Amino acid sequence: MRFDTDKNDKELWEEALELWGFTSQFVMFFEETAELQQEITKLMRGFDNPQKIVDEMADVQIVLNQLKYILSIIYPKNFEDINENLNQSYETKKLKLKQHIKNEKEQRKNKQGKDL
């Protein structure tokens, strides 16, 4: 997955920030992530609405991109550096997850052997 956004997106984030400001954009991030959490919780309780989950995922992706743009303003890095750092962090975390899964499987396998 790449987190790059094109020039048109950057212009959109600039307009949103200019219109509503930093605080509003941070609040929107909290709201959209909470709405996704709510839809996932509903799914866990048996209310199946995959389109609503997808819609909330799209909203979260938008606010994540807006947050990335805001970070490129707050910190003395340009937009491309933020993208590259995000992509590197994403890949590192995927590798850590793979290792964690491997370790967990080994622990479970060893525990099953001891229980017999």
pLDDT at 71: 85
pLDDT at 104: 96
Lookup: tokens for 40: 């996932």
* Displacement of CA 20 from its chain's centroid (Å): 22
Percent of residues, the chain, with pLDDT higher than 70: 90
User: What is the CB-side half-sphere exposure of residue 29 using CA atoms within 13 A?
Assistant: 16
**SS3 label, residue 109:** helix
pTM flag (> 0.85)? no
